[in-house]
Chains A and B, each alone.
Chain A
């Protein structure tokens, strides 16, 4: 570097000393800044961009230029970000976004629901015709208990505390639902597989318990939590199918963009599913295995909660028109 250029570079570095020191002091992400301060922050970001452009010209490839690039990237990240999530945004999520997503998903949910019913019927028929097939879906202990005239759920209430069981059940159900969604990445086949598997299992167990005169007991066990739990799994699978469809028939320039956009749009539906399953878990832990709760209150809880779910997902009585995914 010539002496003149060295002097120029040094003079420039000296002139930026105070400005950079201030940046380094204030570089922590600004949050809730008043408008004037936010504008000042943006002005300084522009000054930093100018510094970077100068550094690239007079000190190309230097450590100083690399450091300015890093600081610029960091400042860029603190400016280029989405709005802060507030309670109002959360309310809007439940009032508008979730109903919109559910509206767009409605046809898929119906198809997935139909698939679930058909596979349940298929599972029922298969085990009715070929009882040995139940070994594919039930463990040896479960089969032994049913054959001795007892449901496998009978002792749960006495062995495991309800609180523990609830959390175990709800975490398992949330994991199954989220997996049904995530596995949609395999062009929707993962969601199809999970729906089919769950349908076949339910049908097979209903047939098996029917053969031993325990189908009424099984129905009594599932009626309180089953309607919402099955519905939520169908919703998650429908969301997974939509995710698969975004890859098969991309709605954006690339499959990657289409997948990202659809995943972002379906996110609120998953949140609603997780919340619904938390309550389901508590019903399944406290009500379903409790022999002292009669059948009718279970029916009221099960269908009452299902209606509450429909109202929640449709945004109450004033559902907005469905948005296109």
Chain B
């Protein structure tokens, strides 16, 4: 994997590398956000139109159209400010906005970033923004250059890992890295081919339970292997 990294130094001096989001993650987040804002705008228009119909009031263009336009145009700046550099689309795509020092962007930085959408989206389909994103270090569009922001990937599994690992280490007494591998294999179980997951399960069980002979493990079926791994993780609990 050839990820670009944003190197930051924490306030305690501990250094970190954040993985910069590329044009793919960026576009994915944008497309989700675009659908949400279009749907929100349409929902507003439809609900106000229906309400006016029920109340037998003639349709007022400014009441139907302009708030919908405002929802569409202000979606990004408002949500990025309220959600600290995220939007529903960014959250789904697992990306978030940070400053070049890894901090949270200020309100003015977010507003400047969004003002430059006007240029980034020109002449159509974010052509300038995407082109800029492909050729700049840190994969930024013009708005990010002006605001000093970078879109980075988030580790969405962090909370689960930190919740799980101390518990597993306490209950099983196994090597933590072996536990991580077993958990990872169980998570990826459905996406692996049958032969592959059986081979991996046998290899991990052999490392976790060296007393068990290779023949005994070879005799186990797929479901039994999965069950053994689960028992191993929960087992001592």
Interface residues in chain A, defined as those with a beta carbon under 8 Å from any beta carbon in chain B: 1, 6-7, 9-10, 13-14, 16-17, 20-21, 23-24, 27, 29, 45-46, 49, 52-53, 59, 62-64, 66-74, 76-82, 85, 161, 163-164, 167, 171, 175, 178-179, 181-183, 185, 256, 259-260, 263-264, 267-268, 270-271
Contacts and interface: CB of A to CB of B under 8 A. Distances in A.
A72 B15 CA distance: 10
A10 B103 contact: no
Instruction: Give the dominant DSSP class at B's interface.
Output: helix
Given A20-B163, A77-B98, A182 B177 contact: no
A79 B98 CA distance: 12
Nearest to B157: A67
Given A6-B174, A67-B162, A267 B112 contact: yes
Given A24-B163, A67-B161, A182 B176 contact: no
Given A70-B154, A163-B62, A49 B14 contact: yes
Nearest to B103: A80
9 contacts: A1-B175, A17-B170, A59-B177, A63-B183, A64-B162, A76-B16, A76-B103, A77-B85, A81-B105
Contacts of A268: 108
Contacts of A52: 14
A69 B155 contact: yes
A178 B115 contact: yes
B176 A264 contact: no
Contacts, number: 168
A175 B117 CA distance: 11
Instruction: Give the dominant DSSP class at A's interface.
Output: helix
Closest 4 CB pairs of A and B: A80-B103, A70-B155, A17-B166, A70-B158
Of the four ranges (under 10, 10 to 19, 20 to 34, 35 or more), the interface on chain B belongs to 35 or more
A182 B11 contact: no
A229 B29 CA distance: 36
Given A9-B169, A67-B159, 8 more contacts: A20-B163, A49-B10, A64-B176, A67-B165, A73-B18, A76-B102, A80-B104, A81-B103
Nearest to B170: A14
Contacts of B112: 263-264, 267
Given A53-B14, A63-B180, A164-B62, A77 B148 contact: no
Contact of A80 (B102, B119, B163, B173): B102
Contacts of A164: 61-62, 65
Given A260-B146, A264-B109, A73 B175 contact: no
Contacts of A82: 104, 106-107
Contacts of B118: 175, 178-179, 182
A69 B163 contact: no
Tell me which of B116, B173, B176 has the highest count of chain A C-beta atoms within 10 A of its own C-beta.
B176
B115 to A, nearest CB: 5
A72 B10 CA distance: 8
